[in-house]
Amino acid sequence: QKEVEQNSGPLSVPEGAIASLNCTYSDRGSQSFFWYRQYSGKSPELIMSIYSNGDKEDGRFTAQLNKASQYVSLLIRDSQPSDSATYLCAVQEGGTSYGKLTFGQGTILTVHP
């Protein structure tokens, strides 16, 4: 059973702080990794995608991937109350068709003013 595990939440950070979200996956052959943000009652929206080891930065968001450790993380700098949502880590397992994702259970982030 392929698994994607996220650090247990909920996570609460003050406005302006860095929020750190972590995810591990079991399938060593996985090639594509995604972070989605989901507001209550809404469908997920893509925040970041990462395919290679190392860091990828996009604005206030930085994704980090370490395939040897089977670990992917998301850092949110200068956190804002509008960042409060559930963050989902998703992995495309090796050998599967593009778009077939396994999601983690999600981490609820609350950014308080």
**Interface with other proteins (CB under 8 A):** 41-46, 88, 97-106
In this structure, what DSSP letter does residue 61 have?
Answer: E
Give the nearest distance from C-beta 31 to other proteins in angstroms: 12
Hunting for tokens 């994607």 — which residue is that? 4
Give the nearest distance from C-beta 18 to other proteins in angstroms: 24
Name the residue nearer to other proteins (CB basis): 41 or 113. 41
Name the residue nearer to other proteins (CB basis): 17 or 96. 96
Give the nearest distance from C-beta 23 to other proteins in angstroms: 12
Give the nearest distance from C-beta 27 to other proteins in angstroms: 14
Name the residue nearer to other proteins (CB basis): 54 or 100. 100
Distances (CA, A) of 95 to 28, 30, 32, 66, 113: 11, 8, 11, 19, 44
Radius of gyration of the chain (CA): 13
The rounded distance, in Å, linking the Cα atoms of 61 and 72 is 13
Give the distance from CA 96 to its chain's centroid. 20
Name the residue nearer to other proteins (CB basis): 17 or 49. 49
